[in-house]
Structure 1
């Protein structure tokens, strides 16, 4: 009988649990079966690995040597398994593609791009408020691509194996009740908004709320935010005349709301396309990026407030 990787995992499980009974439960086996397996491993290696006692088991000096080597070997083995699995998926015919998006206008464009490039694949999509959650799912191979977003000074964190490619950077606009006096202005001073009650998203991994707050503080003071909401509930609070808020420049006005640029463009938002470096979309990354960029331009042209802003401003100065 030769020593196998699974034997090293068993030894580490016993050491971590400190008890054969607890280790057996964690491994999904019985305590007598695990004891017999441990005896066979000890016979292979030629020494006693654990001292048994009433309180459980403790590694012997010989066992400590084996455990040190096992714990140095297993991460490399796990990495090899994960890397080869990702490469095998990349080389195989892709029959399912999972994509995600934050609350941005590009999810439909991403799905269309994937369907055009991989017409035989089933495409599924899901949305999350936090881009960090989607980023973690990409790194864990639970998504193949996603549209994310971040802000200056609060860039998305690095994740091994995930490619991040900026799509566009746009200003953050004011979201107002349609009947609000500030809605009559072409551009709204951020300081003027600070006299109003705000609706803000809950604190999350993307740092949006913290970014808004820090920039408002630089303009004079932090906003009073009695309402914590996001998505449709936030829009409804604004439409009811209870609060003001901020939104992406590509946000589509709904009846009862008004979207206006902020004077001086103090806040910015960046759209980012992400995909797994070893995933089935890796070889299509550049083409998906091209299609999403074209789609973004179409979205901008169809968003009146942002189209007017773009006509008046030189976008080369964006962060």
Structure 2
């Protein structure tokens, strides 16, 4: 793992809080997730940063060195990001639209909406796995809009200048090899899925894997995940019959894999459209939201399994988090 600026922020947050539990709360992470990230940071740096004691965490001599350097570096980085974002906004022409997206069915509809409403714009896009990184880019003015996603109790934080709009909150479904016995079911119990080998996304940069593990932990189980992959590679591992996984409800089945709802809908995913309030898209927000929401409904219809689920579960929604009203600052 390469050391990143966000890792230095994590180390400083732990030092300031004096405990992993308090630091996790301030960072909007779970304590196990923060502990795992700290171990990866320590492995990357080559030494233990904190002594874990009953009363909290205390920096080691090696940790004091790292924390001191981090606190010297971060203000300069923050100033650089603020100044460059301001300069970028001044230099950015009103017709330049930079869009980012996680893997979700909304990107194409967002691009089409921008083309329809701002036909002369210079439109570009880039995709990546982490909603957090895209949110940082929006706040810093490096993107005008983005398709994001989060999970119950793991809502994206509010960032100055960024407005978040919920498009839809949908259940997470099982992704199975077509030949798997569970593929014959209309719904798959999560506890039976936990008897299988799993393919899961890598833990850095996105909290999906952490969310899956936290829900499984409520059943006193943990998925055995010998395969770590994303996107096409994950699908190929499932298609080969080596593992099972989870996917968005709008995932369209391809030959060799099937999608099935989970019994009682224990996992959820929220689709979010976000933009900076200084973005040239902001005046067109209502029209963009309408077009993207219509596109999402079309994506639902293109997924027969999800379309059927929606017929059987009208108005279903998670009981915690992720259905908050639109947020913005």
TM exceeds 0.5? yes
SS across alignment from 1:164: strand
Q: Structure 1 residue 306: deviation in Å? A: 0.2
In the TM superposition, 1:128-143 aligns within 5 A as 128-143=128-143
Specify the alignment match of 2:296 in structure 1. 296
Q: Structure 1 residue 94: deviation in Å? A: 2.0
Distance 1:261 1:242 in 2: 20
Cα pair 1:150 1:206 within 8 Å, conserved: no
SS across alignment from 1:315: coil
Specify the alignment match of 2:277 in structure 1. 277
Q: Structure 1 residue 190: deviation in Å? A: 0.1
Distance 1:81 1:215 in 2: 40
Distance 1:143 1:317 in 2: 30
1:157 to 2:166 alignment: no
Q: Can you give the 5+ residue segments of structure 2 that lack an aligned partner in the other structure?
A: 1-74, 320-329
Specify the alignment match of 2:235 in structure 1. 235
Distance 1:235 1:80 in 2: 42
Cα pair 2:152 2:318 within 8 Å, conserved: no
Over 3 Å counting, the alpha-carbon distance change for 1:220 and 1:116 in structure 2 is same
SS across alignment from 1:219: coil
Distance 1:187 1:227 in 2: 24
Over 3 Å counting, the alpha-carbon distance change for 1:278 and 1:243 in structure 2 is same
Whichever of the two has the greater Rg, that structure is 1
Distance 2:204 2:272 in 1: 18
1:309 to 2:309 alignment: yes
Distance 1:82 1:239 in 2: 43
Cα pair 1:144 1:281 within 8 Å, conserved: yes
Specify the alignment match of 1:204 in structure 2. 204
Aligned residues: 241
Write the deviation string for residues 18-49 of structure 1: whole angstroms up to 9, x where unpaired: xxxxxxxxxxxxxxxxxxxxxxxxxxxxxxxx
Cα pair 2:165 2:272 within 8 Å, conserved: yes
Over 3 Å counting, the alpha-carbon distance change for 1:187 and 1:79 in structure 2 is closer
Cα pair 1:173 1:247 within 8 Å, conserved: yes
Q: Structure 1 residue 287: deviation in Å? A: 1.3
In the TM superposition, 1:49-88 aligns within 5 A as 86=89
Distance 1:217 1:285 in 2: 39
SS across alignment from 2:103: coil
User: With structure 2 as the length reference, what TM-score do the two structures score?
Assistant: 0.69
Cα pair 1:144 1:279 within 8 Å, conserved: yes
Distance 2:276 2:192 in 1: 43
Aligned alpha-carbon RMSD (Å): 2.1
Specify the alignment match of 1:18 in structure 2. none
In the TM superposition, 1:138-287 aligns within 5 A as 138-287=138-287
Distance 1:81 1:268 in 2: 37
User: With structure 1 as the length reference, what TM-score do the two structures score?
Assistant: 0.72
Over 3 Å counting, the alpha-carbon distance change for 1:176 and 1:282 in structure 2 is same
Cα pair 2:82 2:140 within 8 Å, conserved: no
Distance 2:286 2:116 in 1: 14
Q: Structure 1 residue 286: deviation in Å? A: 1.7
